Structure 1
């Protein structure tokens, strides 16, 4: 590992067109899981000027069975979609929650996929697809997340909170942030650059109103970054294109699953390539990425390493993972090989294993908990009730005992 370097991560707000799509897709997942905990959902969303389109494959008791929609189901889906857009705050001429055209092209799940995923006879539930998934944790922040991404998320969360509360008069939903930090001896010590682009109301791109917006954003950044991180050498780029009035799906089309690095670790760790939003927890793209984050976070919380990357892999229709790999990046107090064995034993004892069924039952994933994940990252969040169970650190003592 390098000890002295500069690293950057970005985030996007709930009003970014891709995140609008992610939130709609996950609201559909939650809707179906609230009706049927065993629902199968793969929902993709397209958003553009005054248009939202759903596409994908589903199976859900009481909603879509035997090729037929239940009475009122289509209307409830449309209400759910419009409510997501209304809650985000889009009531603009180019994208208005009440007037956009809505097209629903969801249809039944392929029987050939279902036969591989469903449990039958002596066959356990199989993985919903092949692929590789990664989990990561590091000790750069209290939430054991990369600092660059953590601060990028928090800047936009603050902007969104101030917009929803009307604390400032000029913010609109679409926004992006980017934080570059300098690391010394592997520890973040200063911000070398901060980029924030926020959609705004007319007139806030120049003059006194433009200066007001600039000062506000700099104040938010100063509140979020640790004391001393902003120096005379920190470069700020706030709305560097000049004007940002046209935004959201009206300014750029959005698609589910295009912000997978924002959703995970900001580029500080590998990514298997599969998106999370719009997928029920039988899809290991989602559930296995959650469980590997859970295990990696507990490794760091247990003091077994400062950084931990975990990879698992699956074959479609096969229940057991094909591989488990651990990399402690030279920061571990135990060997990776020993830790791989301990993780396997602890996962078997506490979760029921790393099979799709073990993961979703052990973490309680068959619940309508996903809409909250779809903006500001799936990781580094506070576990509350049923939400974000993969962020708990309740395996730390078990891991230490398994290695004793």
Structure 2
């Protein structure tokens, strides 16, 4: 069993909260990996984020690396350290001597890594430098690496904040549309009652006028409440720059592209046929990407883990009109080992435990519980169907505002 931080559950939740597309961050962090390599005089520098299954290299210098299984990485040990991890010679360390990056090209020997610490105190991953030759980093260079690592986290926080502002801006726009719709009712009532008073002339009784005025007062108060809602939200947002809260169009076609880019290489490496399909009639309808990529990614990683070579994993999405909202359906099926009913029940209770995959992949036990947690935070539903020896099917349903 491979090592885990004591706060692993909180760590994976914190990473999921950043809601990152691991394939789209190279341009944001490339300069920092180049700087780290230059500062230390090493050939290679990586910025790695580690989720339940995978180490994602979101930026790299000197080595074209996108991802690797978590259990094969050096950085899985770095996130256990309070400050840093140095390995003078990877070839002499039994944990890494047989790994491809040591035994084969690029024949790495030296490693130095610094944990990327979130504002919650969890380690999201690591900034690391590597080289085919042994190195000796002086304290000044190590201090500069710590500064670079802090800048990595700062940029991650900015990305998260911008994403949050975008979601809030979208919700504000929807709120304005709803308020505009709600105003029509009270305003129409006030106009109708005023017309009734003026058209009735002297025939209308005083008590009838007073009753109408009372109703008009209630309608007017409703209008004032709605106006307050608009003003409060506008005051909250009118200082924000428009480019920082611009609406991000996210739809099934874009979602499919992201999933294929992230997980097709892993599937190919294990000899598994991975396919992602969308509902052609709704694939360009926008929906919120909030946590959806993290949910899908964990389900796909789990499916790949428990599906043998020559097997298949199928992912499908659909957006259905449910009247006041759209329903996003995400289905991940596989031809893997399958599970007994008691294990399925444990997953649905958030009590699922992990085991080794079909190719001996290490199990950490947090992937599927994390999916359940994320789905529940979005008020969605998770359904699991599985039979030992006949694969599994995970279906997620999430309500999406129109």
Q: Same fold (TM over 0.5)?
A: no
Q: TM-score, normalised by structure 1?
A: 0.22
More helix by share: 2
Q: TM-score, normalised by structure 2?
A: 0.22
More strand by share: 1
